[in-house]
Amino acid sequence: MNGKIYIIGTGPGDKDFVIPKALISMQNSDIIVGYKTYIDLIRPFITDVELVSSGMKKEVDRCSEVLEIAKTGKTVSLISSGDAGIYGMAGIMLEIVEKSGTDIEVEVVPGISAATSAGALLGAPLMNDFVTLSLSDLMTPWELIVKRIKAACSGDFVMALYNPKSKTRVKQLEIAINTMLEYYKGDTPVGIVKHAMREKQEVSITTLDDVLNQDVDMFTTLVIGNSQTRVINGKMVTKRGYTY
């Protein structure tokens, strides 16, 4: 008899920001599988459940392992930080289950995304239409990412940028910001959030002209304002169009 697979978004990682359904699903699982950093984040508050971790770039192997465990009749939770359906494990896990031809039950449990975590800490920058963009070209060709940046700018979208910069991937952020400056004013507000809702949290607001001078890494989410975004009492706010 087959078991069940939960694909769970654990949010920022702190227990206070994991939804109750996710906590219950993990605690009721036989095994929880995830990237080492995400397993370490839940370790303090998940008890009496076997935790299995693996390294970066092992996503396919991780999903295959989850599937094999579920085939033995066990309930398995596969975790991602943020929301599992936003640059997380939900897509690949569903694809692998389909390819296997099994009828294992899969349930996706939502989590608080990096974009909404950053948005809350910055104020209300996502009040109107916005897009999320990852600057990692590991899975998506860089030329397509630039095309999407230009399209977002043409539509005057607020942008939440994931994976903006790493030790080996530096030029992409510079290209992205310079591309945005072709469309947006240099004083456009930009929110910088590191380790959102975690122990090392840092939150600051700068401008599109100045963001390349700031310390940005893979733990950072950038929120790029649009023509309607202002800084009000130290908070980023994007107008929705209300009259008052």
pLDDT at 23: 97
**What is each CA distance from 15 to 45, 75, 150, 213, 241, in whole angstroms?**
7, 21, 37, 33, 35
Residue with tokens 């459940």: 49
pLDDT at 89: 96
pTM of the predicted structure, to 2 decimals: 0.93
pLDDT at 161: 98
pLDDT at 194: 96
pLDDT at 150: 98
- Burial classification of residue 219, based on how many CB atoms lie within 10 Å of its CB (0-12 exposed, 13-18 middle, 19 or more buried): middle
pLDDT at 228: 97
pLDDT at 13: 80
β pairing state of 202-207 and 130-134: unpaired
pLDDT at 146: 98
Based on DSSP, count helices (H) and strands (E) in the chain, helices before strands. Answer: 7, 13
* Residues of the chain falling short of pLDDT 50: none
pLDDT at 119: 98
pLDDT at 168: 86
